[in-house]
């Protein structure tokens, strides 16, 4: 069918070998790919089903438009492929979905370099970056970005309502219109505008011949455009709810407003591009069209070498068996402790147990938890400490306890100060480190301490949590994490040091009871 040494045979061999390598990668990474499809089914990532095919098309166009001969780069390709697979395995070990998912982009880069050469890898960076833009962000970052966007949209939406003379009061993400209250929930944070709009602006900025200043400007304007459009949408919902009732702010009209305002986002982005082009003296020039018209294709001497294919096969096979060993052998240990049995009486402290709301439980999803208000003697309200511990027996991807800093802005709390804080517990010979923050809302000031227990060890930093998870999962198979948080009211700024002393005393008294409920590996909880 093909003549030996013909360009058609070279292309056929290259396509078949690429498909074979892609199929093997798909099999090894099937869990990560299934997780990606699950996340992409959500509203804020729904554009991924359009962006990913566009990204692969962009990669194919870039490779085909290489004028020089494409020679496989065995060393570079094998190195990048191996790095990507190692990162993928480590991401699975520390239960970081973002690390595991992002490693797929690195693995694709390694395959491109191995099969098509380093020049093809460097020329396809735009398509690779476009695909990377739809990789789900870390849950902590997503929660923080969502809360900040919620707050920004609420503030701006309230300002627009006040501008049109509608009486309104805002507390956190709740907009009070008098007869009804509108809550700017996560789905209305504007993130479902920011992410697809940023991908679209990237596609526009780099598929057209534009000056660097124009490209950067288009990308930068994406976020304020999305926030403004979302705030305008919230204010319109407030107007319709005021005039026609709460029902007008829900259902079909609510959904239609979402689509209409995304079109408005695209129109505003086009307007910004036009202004930037006028200011820079630039003009439109379709980069793809010019390249396709002037492309010189060459498939000679591009058939992947046997060594390259063997290297890919060995690396992928080795990774597959490593993942089997790690996830089927090492994670056979089931670790589950119940913190709900935490005592209500500790030394001189007496507690009254509290409960989370169903909405909070659904958002946090702990395996079990304990929350109570503890008081010491009869010192009054300012000595009451709220204590909360949430235990996660298995930190599956996208289900890890995040920092309280993620939730506070959306609840209307402002962070006055934040630091790492160490003290010596009572009758102890070691320093205990926590995260210390002071928050304020409506003339109420709280002093908050929080930290994590990973495999029974106390850890204050997020990076330390990931590192300890990695070590524990390899050594003992444990992957449990608990978030511990305490706070106390601060009557005035001069009382902060006194309240620090109260929290330090309380933590000194709860260390041993908590260690009994969540012991170290190999330590009996009884």
Angle between helices 48-64 and 287-294 (to 10 degrees): 30
Run of H or E residues at 386: strand 385-392
Q: What is the mean pLDDT of the chain?
A: 76
| Partners of residue 370 on adjacent β-strands | 389
Q: How far apart are CA 523 and CA 526, in angstroms?
A: 9
pLDDT of residue 291: 42
* d(C-alpha 150, C-alpha 30), whole Å: 34
Higher pLDDT, 93 or 48: 48
Count of beta carbons in the 10 Å neighbourhood of residue 207: 17
Structure token digits, residue 290: 């010019």
pLDDT category, 396, cuts 50, 70, 90? low
Q: Averaged over 132-145, what is the pLDDT?
A: 78
Q: What is the 3-state secondary structure (H, E, C) of 455-509?
A: CCEEECCHHHHHHHHHHHHHHCCCCCEEEEEEEEECCCHHHHHHHHHHHHHHHHH
| pTM for the whole structure | 0.68
207 or 189: which leads in pLDDT: 207
User: Other CB atoms closer than 10 Å to residue 194's CB: what's the count?
Assistant: 21
What per-residue string of b and e applies to 88-101 under the rule 16 or more CB within 10 Å gives b? bbbbbbbbbbbbbb
Contact 220, 234 (CB under 8 A): no
Find the mean pLDDT for residues 345-350.
87
Q: 31-40, 104-113, 114-123, 161-170: which range is least confident on average? A: 161-170
pLDDT above 90 for 371: yes
Q: Which residue has the higher pLDDT, 303 or 319?
A: 319
Per-residue model confidence (pLDDT) at position 1 = 53
Give percent of the chain with pLDDT exceeding 90: 10
Rounded to 5 degrees, what are φ and ψ at 453?
A: -115, 115
* Alpha-carbon gap, residue 13 to 2, rounded angstroms: 11
Tens-place pLDDT, residues 208-217: 777 888 888 8
Describe the strand order of the beta sheet including 169-171 as a list of residue ranges.
Answer: 169-171, 174-176, 181-183
The alpha-carbon radius of gyration of the chain (Å, integer) is 28
Which pLDDT value is given to residue 483? 92
Q: Which residue has the higher pLDDT, 80 or 143?
A: 80
| pLDDT at res. 22 | 73
Give the span between the Cα atoms of 525 and 337, in whole angstroms.
9
Checking if the pLDDT of 304 tops 70, the result is no
- Rounded to a whole number of angstroms, the distance between the first and last alpha carbons of the chain is 75
For residue 140, give both structure tokens: 């902590």
Distance CA 59, CA 350 (A): 64
Q: Which residues, 6 or more positions from 480, have their beta carbon under 8 angstroms from its beta carbon?
A: 335, 336, 337, 391, 392, 393, 394, 395, 454, 455, 518
Mean pLDDT of 469-473: 74
170-187 pLDDT tens trace: 766 667 666 666 666 555
Higher pLDDT, 23 or 123: 123
User: To which H or E segment does residue 63 belong?
Assistant: helix 48-64
How far apart are alpha carbons 454 and 337 in whole angstroms? 12
């Amino acid at each position: 069918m093909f003549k030996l040494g013909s360009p058609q045979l070279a292309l056929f061999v290259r396509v078949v070998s690429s498909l074979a390598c892609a199929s093997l990668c798909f099999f090894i990474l099937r869990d990560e790919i299934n997780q990606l499809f699950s996340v992409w089914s959500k509203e804020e990532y729904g554009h991924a089903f359009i962006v990913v095919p566009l990204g692969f098309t962009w990669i194919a166009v870039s490779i085909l438009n290489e004028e020089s001969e494409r020679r496989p780069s065995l060393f570079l390709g094998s190195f990048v492929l191996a790095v990507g697979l190692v990162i993928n395995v480590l991401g699975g070990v520390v239960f970081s979905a973002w690390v595991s998912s992002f490693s797929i982009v690195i693995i694709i880069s390694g395959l491109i370099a191995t099969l098509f050469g380093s020049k093809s890898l460097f020329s396809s960076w735009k398509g690779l970056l476009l695909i990377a833009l739809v990789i789900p962000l870390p849950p902590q970052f997503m929660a923080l970005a969502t809360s900040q966007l919620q707050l920004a949209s609420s503030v701006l939406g309230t300002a627009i309502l006040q501008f049109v003379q509608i009486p309104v009061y805002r507390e956190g993400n709740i907009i009070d219109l008098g007869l009804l209250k509108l809550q700017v929930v996560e789905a209305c944070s504007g993130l479902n505008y920011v992410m697809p709009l940023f991908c679209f602006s990237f596609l526009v900025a780099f598929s057209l011949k534009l000056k660097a200043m124009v490209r950067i400007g288009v990308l930068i304007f994406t976020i304020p455009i999305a926030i403004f459009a979302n705030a305008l949408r919230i204010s319109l919902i407030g107007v319709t709810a005021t005039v026609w009732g709460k029902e007008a702010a829900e259902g079909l009209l609510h959904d239609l407003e979402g689509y209409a305002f995304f079109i408005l986002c695209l129109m505003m982005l086009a307007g910004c591009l036009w202004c930037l082009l006028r200011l820079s003296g630039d003009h439109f020039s379709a980069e793809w069209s010019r390249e396709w018209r002037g492309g010189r294709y060459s498939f000679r001497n591009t058939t992947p070498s046997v060594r390259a294919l063997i290297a890919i096969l060995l690396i992928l096979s080795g990774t597959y068996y490593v993942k089997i060993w790690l996830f089927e052998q090492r994670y056979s240990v089931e670790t589950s402790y119940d913190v709900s049995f935490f005592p209500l009486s500790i030394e001189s402290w007496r507690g009254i147990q509290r409960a989370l709301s169903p909405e909070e439980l659904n958002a946090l999803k702990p395996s079990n938890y304990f929350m109570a208000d503890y008081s010491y003697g009869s010192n009054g309200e300012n000595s009451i400490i709220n204590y909360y511990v949430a235990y996660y027996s298995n930190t599956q991807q996208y289900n890890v306890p995040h920092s309280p800093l993620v939730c506070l802005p959306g609840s209307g709390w402002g962070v006055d100060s934040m630091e790492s804080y160490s003290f010596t517990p009572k009758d102890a010979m070691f320093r205990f480190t926590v995260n210390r923050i002071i928050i304020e809302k409506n003339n109420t000031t709280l002093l908050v301490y929080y930290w994590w227990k990973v495999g029974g060890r106390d850890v204050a930093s997020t990076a330390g949590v990931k590192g300890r998870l990695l070590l524990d999962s390899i050594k003992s198979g444990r992957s449990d994490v608990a978030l511990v948080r305490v706070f106390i009211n601060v009557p005035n700024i001069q009382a902060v040091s006194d309240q620090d002393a109260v929290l330090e005393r309380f933590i000194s008294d709860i260390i041993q009871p908590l260690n009994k409920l969540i012991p170290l590996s190999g330590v009996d909880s009884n």
